């Protein structure tokens, strides 16, 4: 099931399970994962995009190997909040992935996630070649961490 609302996504998740964050690009997919308590996002790998079935097979393998309970997919909105062709492509990817992988999927606004990842790598004095190799998985971690932080706030609000 695909969710635009994070609270509905939270209701669909197992009580304890890791989440996977995805930064979908035209040539690569950045992948990050959380711990089972959903507090910390860690970059995992960058999947080179080929055909959808091959990409989905790799993501399925990663999800099964790490007992993933749900997927947070970065949605590339325009700066004014509208959705353009890249957002529509991301939504289509989510529909196709959902048909193959029985996990809840939620969209997370990814505006500026790549810029934040780039800034962090520059501050860490990472070489240009290394930045190119890891930027997508770092951006996926930023996307996932944003969702994790919001999920934690929703949980706190629910216990008050």
Domain chopping of the chain, boundaries: 2-158
- In this prediction the pTM is 0.84
Mean pLDDT, to the nearest integer, of 35-50?
95
Q: Is 17 exposed, middle or buried (0-12, 13-18, 19+ CB in 10 A)?
A: middle
C-alpha span between 113 and 9 (Å, rounded)? 21
pLDDT digits over 103-112, tens only? 999 999 886 6
Q: What pLDDT band is residue 38 in, cutting at 50, 70 and 90?
A: very high
Q: What pLDDT band is residue 138 in, cutting at 50, 70 and 90?
A: confident
Average pLDDT value for the chain: 87
C-alpha span between 54 and 114 (Å, rounded)? 24
Distances from the Cα of 52 to the Cα of 19, 57, 98, angstroms: 21, 8, 12
C-alpha span between 128 and 156 (Å, rounded)? 40
C-alpha span between 3 and 106 (Å, rounded)? 5
Q: Which of 9-23, 44-58, 75-89, 124-138 shows the lowest per-residue confidence on average (mean pLDDT)?
A: 124-138
Classify 30 as helix, strand or coil.
strand
pLDDT of residue 113: 62
CATH assignment of 2-158, given 3.30.420.140, 1.20.58.220, 3.90.700.10, 3.10.450.40? Answer: 3.30.420.140
Pair 140, 74: CB distance under 8 Å = yes
pLDDT digits over 87-137, tens only? 899 999 999 999 999 999 999 988 666 666 566 655 666 666 655 556 788
Residue with token string 């970065």: 74
């Amino acid at each position: 099931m695909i969710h635009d609302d994070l609270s509905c996504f939270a209701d669909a998740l197992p009580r304890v399970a890791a989440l996977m964050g995805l930064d979908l690009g035209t040539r690569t997919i950045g992948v990050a994962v959380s711990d089972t308590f959903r507090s910390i996002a860690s970059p995992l790998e960058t999947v080179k995009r080929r055909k959808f079935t091959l990409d989905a097979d790799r993501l399925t393998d990663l999800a099964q190997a790490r007992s993933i309970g749900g997927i947070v997919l970065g949605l590339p909105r325009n700066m004014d909040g509208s959705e353009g062709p890249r957002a529509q492509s991301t939504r289509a990817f989510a529909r196709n992935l959902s048909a193959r992988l029985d996990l809840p999927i939620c969209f997370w606004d990814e505006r500026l996630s790549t810029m934040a990842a780039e800034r962090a790598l520059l501050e860490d004095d990472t070489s240009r070649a290394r930045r190119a190799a890891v930027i997508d998985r770092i951006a996926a971690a930023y996307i996932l961490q944003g969702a994790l932080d919001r999920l934690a706030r929703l949980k706190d609000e629910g216990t008050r």
